[in-house]
Amino acid sequence: MEDKQETLETLKEALVDLYLKVKVRSSEDIEKYNSAQMEQEKEEHKDTTGFMLVDLIRSNVEILLNIKSEEDSFSDNEKSLAYPNFFSQASSILSSKSQVNTEGYEKIIRKLESDVRNLIRSEQQMKVYCEGLTDKLGYKKTEFDEFKIAVKEKLHQIKKDKKTTEELLAQKEKELIEVKSQILQYEEKALKHQQDLLSYKRDTEAKILLLQTRYNEELARINTEKRKAILEITNKVQQAQDKREQVVDGDMTLMKNSLSTTQEMTRSFTVLRQDTGSTGSKIIRHKRQHSDSSGRNVSLRSLKRSLSSTIRTYKNATQKQPPKGMGNKSHHKSALSLNASKISERNTSKKRLNTKISKNSIVLNPNTKSLHLTKTKGGDIGLHTDRNLATELVPLKGGKIRYHAQNFKKLKCKSKNIK
């Protein structure tokens, strides 16, 4: 593509050079023509198209050919006309008695011929220039027609766009009017809604104020009733506490009175515990020595007899020594529950009995929890221990004592009442 462009530029420069060489000029222009004018004319024809340069070259060549043909025809006519004219002029000159030098006439003739040729050359140049102007006018006319068509199309498009714009503008104006009407409707609705909100707010505030007043009145009433109820409950609690303190004081007095009796009974119970421990040991030995049921029953019967004798001894001892502050009748009615539970042989006789008094019980030996004197729900006083063998000695009405061995189930021996 670049090579083609360079070739076109080179060809155009060659056409410009050819045109400048064949261009018809006057003799004065030829005498004054130099390289600077040549470069200037090249710059002037730089923007001229190649077709116009070819037309200019063709026109100048035609002019030169016409000049050549005219010169040839003029030379032939000159031979036929020059001499008669010359002779007529000479005769007139001779008649006027003036002599003209032949060389002067020849110079005048050559000058006239030169003027004629210059005139013909100028005519041809004007013809070429007119043809160039005609071509340019044709090109300009064509360009003007094309421009006119383009302007018409553009004008038509502008009119079409203008019409479309006007239609769009009218549509937008219509939409704008609709939007304005909607805005007015929304503003009216908003104003109405705001008025409704203000009215609802006033009504709500009035209701809240009324409810607050009712709440304060109800709260004051509840607080008053609460204070009255608290006062009543406090009085009742105080009365119940006073009654309880009275009952506890009575119970503690009774238990303190029973403590002395319990201490006296402890001696007898120690002997009973030793006998019970030895009896447990005997039971274990009998269990190891006798495997049949007959031997076991014999051992149990002997154990029952031994326990019966021990219980009778304990019964006699308790009946002979009634507790201080209590008669024999009250002593028999308060069932003393003696529960000797979990008694072991090891170090039972070496334990020292101490006393610890609580709300409902008296612990004679709190370190080992070996002997307790406890008041039951029915008002009875029970004496029990915490050891391996669980036994009970319960004084009943009429002076009877019930013997109960819980852990004897291992020996398949049921609990029985012993008189």
Q: What percent of the chain has pLDDT above 70?
A: 47
Residue pair 382/374 in contact by the 8 Å Cβ criterion: yes
pLDDT: which is higher, 118 or 194: 194
Tell whether 253 is covered by a domain.
no
- Residue 398 lies inside a defined structural domain of this protein: yes
**pLDDT at res. 170:** 92
Q: Tell me the mean pLDDT in the region 156-174.
A: 92
Q: Which residues pair with 366 in a beta bridge?
A: none
Look at the chain and report how many structural domains it folds into: 2
Residue 213: inside a domain: no
Check: CB of residue 384 under 8 Å from CB of residue 340.
yes
Domain end position, chosen among 160, 178, 199: 160
The pLDDT tens digits of the residues spanning 242-265 come to 887 777 676 677 667 666 666 766
Comparing C-alpha atoms, which of 399, 283, 408 is closest to residue 341? 408
Token pair 């609802």: residue: 200
Highest mean pLDDT (candidates 100-104, 119-123, 331-335, 412-416):
119-123
What pLDDT does 21 receive?
72
pLDDT, residue 303, reads: 61
- The answer to whether residues 156 and 23 belong to one domain is yes
**Cα separation, 174 vs 208, whole angstroms:** 50
**Domain C-terminal end among 118, 140, 160:** 160
Which residue, of 144, 160, 176, is where some domain finishes? 160
Question: What pLDDT does 104 receive?
Answer: 63
pLDDT at 95: 44
The whole model's pTM is what? Answer: 0.24
Task: Evaluate whether residue 349 is within a structural domain.
Answer: yes
Both tokens of 219, joined, read 């709260």
Q: Residue 227 falls within a domain, yes or no?
A: no
Greater pLDDT, 283 or 234: 234
Assigned domain for 108 exists:
yes
Residue type, 183: I
Tell me the per-residue pLDDT of 65-122, one tens digit each, with 9 for 90 and over. 777 776 666 665 554 444 444 444 444 444 444 444 566 666 766 776 777 777 777 7
Residues 151 and 270 in one domain: no
CA distances from 359 to 83, 133, 221 (A): 189, 147, 43
Q: Domain limits at 107?
A: 12-160
Residues 406 and 274 in one domain: yes
- Hey, which residues does 402 pair with through a beta bridge? 394
Q: Is residue 6 part of a domain?
A: no
What is the dihedral sign for C-alpha 281, 286, 291, 297?
Answer: negative
Q: What is the dihedral of CA 190, 196, 202, 204, to 10 degrees?
A: -110
For the beta carbon of residue 161, count every other beta carbon within 10 angstroms.
Answer: 10
CA 55 to chain centre: 83
Q: 3-state secondary structure string, 300-315? A: HHHHHHHHHHHHHHHH
pLDDT at residue 142, as a whole number: 86
Q: Within a domain: residue 128? A: yes
